A and B are shown apart, each in its own frame.
Chain A
Amino acid sequence: MNGLKFSAIAIGVGLVVMAFAAWLGLDYFYFAGYTILQYIVLATAWNILGGYCGYVNFGSAAFFAMGAYSSVALHKFDGEIDTWFPDNIAPLLHAIFPLPIPILILFGGIVSGIAGLGMGYLTLRLRGSFFAIATLALAVVLQTLVVNWDFVGGSRGAYIIRPETIVIAGFEINYIIYLFVLMLILAVIALTTARAIERSQLGFGFATIRDDELAAEASGVPTLRLKLIATTLSGAFMGMAGAPFPYYIGYLQPASAFSLDYAVNSIAMPMIGGTTSWIGPLVGSVLLGSLQQIATVTISSAVNLLIVGILLVTFVIIAPNGLVGLTQEHWRKRRRP
């Protein structure tokens, strides 16, 4: 099944989900659903570098936050147009700004993609374990920079008032549904991309890096170039997931944008789901994401991180190939006799 057909099916599934949501009529569903879709993108993005290439990125939060903060920066920029620009230029800018969210998403993707490229260039010559630590360091450095950048609110945070509704093609749509749909489309794009990579020569090359980087080089695989592609793609998608976040949440603070929770979730979801294919992150994020939503609502939000931690450790020990791996084992055993 080629990429286009897959996307079509994925969108179809998404529409079914939406129809279900509309039937439920619960606004909460869109809020929760947005979070889960966001995690699908983050987990899939992480898996491109982590699962396919074998390089663990602890700094997912940084790329996510950069996407979020680029939206905040653009939003603030919009507010400053009249102050900064002379009267003949300002109206031109006002015609473009405020930028619609899809453009913000693109922008967030570009910013985080470049950051991914830069980080890769600095650190990918290091062994896997050094790389992982470097990603953590990068996340904290970026967080410190943002905390000290008053233009986007620094540690006090930034408010973005979310409009109630938005008018698209003549229809007035509830804003949260708009955000939900955008994230749904982004999730479909992420999954389609991951799947396409898996089946391509690029994905093949990624697998050799994961299996044995030295042998890959000796066989002619340009490992550094491929790794840079992986970090750039991975970073870009994380940034894209982060770009609408300030509009979703209304008030953005560095502590929440850079929260280590994003790091642990973007690692736990693919590892629990299974890292060798695009299905793993999808399964992991839907299951774990839903579990966390339920736990937050019923028990407390601290407990849900405990659950993630325990599940991560358990799966990593018992089921290294995740749920997808377990399923594959099961089918293989049934086929054997």
Chain B
Amino acid sequence: MVISVDLLINAIVAGLLLGGFYAAVTAGVSISFGMLDIVNIAHPAFIILGSYIAYIVNISFGIDPIIVSVVALPAFYALGALVYQVYYLSFEKRGQESLRGLAFFFGLLFITEVSLILVFGVDYRYVEAAYIGPSIHLGLIDMPLRMLVPCLVALAMFGLLELFVTRTFLGRAIMAVSQDQLALQLMAADPIKIKRIAFGISIATASIAGALLIIIQPVEPSVGREYIGRVFAICVLGGLGSMPGTLIAALILGVVESLTSTFYGPSWAPAVSFGFLLLTLAFRPAGLLGR
């Protein structure tokens, strides 16, 4: 097959932009799964929830979706804290997190998705903003703003999280809790409270990721399911709990998906992320930069 350079370069660029966005989507799971060892497979559902909230406010009041998502951050944080509290009391405390915890989140995934279907129906929804439509042209490269803006916001959010985790006391406490809960307790910090805060932050990122998602593509309730594989593939490939690793893995996945989609057709796209996940789990569960 003759590969046009133009097509190749644009596919790669699109992949990088997509990968940046994927990093934002995965950031939350990097915290909940990578650091807290909680398999929250309902995370994509929270992202879709974020998308729909951005959608309603955008359609009703014309406010930019990203701004909506920032305003919604406290609500999402509270939701995350609440979910963690239920999870902790019902499962972690009783030591039954493996089977029942998974079933719990699976149930949440369904409840969220089906509730959205009942309220909004299965039609695709999209938002309106100034940057959806125009593109930047740099020589051979076409960068649609609706991909570029989310990518930049995603990277900014990602960078903030990385700073938070490495520079602030709370952030380092979260890293500590993932490594040695007992030691943290001995330092008179309450591990449960720290985990709750961390999980709250994890769900808060879903608010922003959701707004970015609906800028990039139209959304309907079951879109979340495609992201389950992506998110965990990136998390595992990047090495659990390693933020830089997650970013690199996200970019790689974005590029590979973009190339596959461009040259082999979009129907193979889901296999890419989930296939990556399987291969990583089978052969290198510690990831690229894992601990």
Interface residues of A (CB under 8 A from B): 50, 54, 56, 58, 122-123, 126, 128-130, 132-134, 136-138, 140-141, 143-145, 147-148, 155, 260, 263-264, 267-268, 271, 275, 302-303, 305-306, 308-310, 312-313, 316-317, 320
Contact flag A136-B103 (CB < 8 Å), given A141-B278, A309-B111: no
| B130 adjacent to chain A (CB < 8 Å) | no
Q: Which of A126, A137, A303, A316 is packed against the most chain B CB atoms within 10 Å?
A: A137
Can you offer 13 A-B residue contacts whose CB atoms are under 8 A?
A54-B98, A56-B99, A123-B282, A133-B277, A138-B274, A140-B274, A141-B271, A143-B270, A264-B107, A305-B114, A309-B107, A313-B108, A317-B86
Q: Which residue of A lies closest to B226 (CB)?
A: A140
- Contacts A141-B275, A317-B90 hold; do A309 and B114 have CB atoms under 8 A apart? yes
A165 to chain B, nearest CB (A): 38
Q: Which residues of B contact A (CB under 8 A)?
A: 33, 37, 39, 41, 86, 90, 94, 96, 98-100, 102-104, 106-111, 114-115, 117-118, 225, 228-229, 232-233, 236, 267-268, 270-271, 274-275, 277-278, 281-282, 285
B281 touches A144 (CB 8 A): no
Other-chain residue from A123, A137, A148 in contact with B274 (beta carbon distance below 8 A): A137
Q: Which of A50, A132, A133, A268 has the most CB of B within 10 A?
A: A133
When A137-B274, A264-B110, A271-B103 are in contact, do A129 and B267 touch as well, CB less than 8 Å?
no
Beta-carbon nearest neighbor of A255 in chain B? B222
Distance to closest chain B CB from A26 (angstroms): 29
Taking the nearest CB of chain B, how far is it from the CB of A254, in angstroms? 10
On whether the beta carbons of A137 and B110 are closer than 8 Å, the reply is no
> Which chain B residues border A147 with CB–CB below 8 Å?
267
With contact pairs A50-B99, A144-B271, A267-B103 given, residues A133 and B110 touching in the complex (Cβ less than 8 Å): no
Q: How far is the CB of B187 from chain A (nearest CB, A)?
A: 27
The 4 closest A-B pairs by CB, nearest first: A309-B110, A144-B271, A313-B107, A312-B107
- Indicate the member of B103, B106, B115 with the most A CB atoms within 10 Å: B103
A267 close to B98 (CB less than 8 A): no
Partner of B267, one of A128, A138, A155: A155
Identify 9 new A-B residue pairs, CB closer than 8 A, beyond the known A122-B282, A144-B268, A310-B111: A58-B106, A128-B98, A129-B33, A133-B232, A134-B282, A137-B281, A302-B118, A312-B103, A317-B90
- The answer to whether B275 touches A313, judged by C-beta atoms less than 8 angstroms apart, is no
Give A138 to B278 CA distance when docked, in angstroms. 7
In Å, the complex CA distance between A130 and B235 comes to 11
Q: Are A130 and B106 CB-contacts (below 8 A) given A137-B233, A147-B267?
A: no
Whether B98 contacts A141 by the Cβ 8 Å rule is no
Assess the B41–A133 pair: CB atoms within 8 A: yes
Complex contact A306–B110 (CB within 8 A): yes
Contact in complex: A313, B104 (CB < 8 Å): yes
Verify A141–B274 contact, CB threshold 8 A: yes
Which of B33, B106, B285 gathers the greatest number of chain A CB atoms within 10 Å? B106
Contact at B39–A132, with CB atoms within 8 Å?
A: yes
Set of chain B residues within 8 Å of A136, measured between Cβ atoms:
41, 228-229, 274
- Of chain B, the residue at the smallest CB distance from A122 is B282
Given contacts A129-B98, A132-B39, A306-B110, contact A140 B104 (CB under 8 A): no
Most buried by A among B102, B107, B275, B285: B107
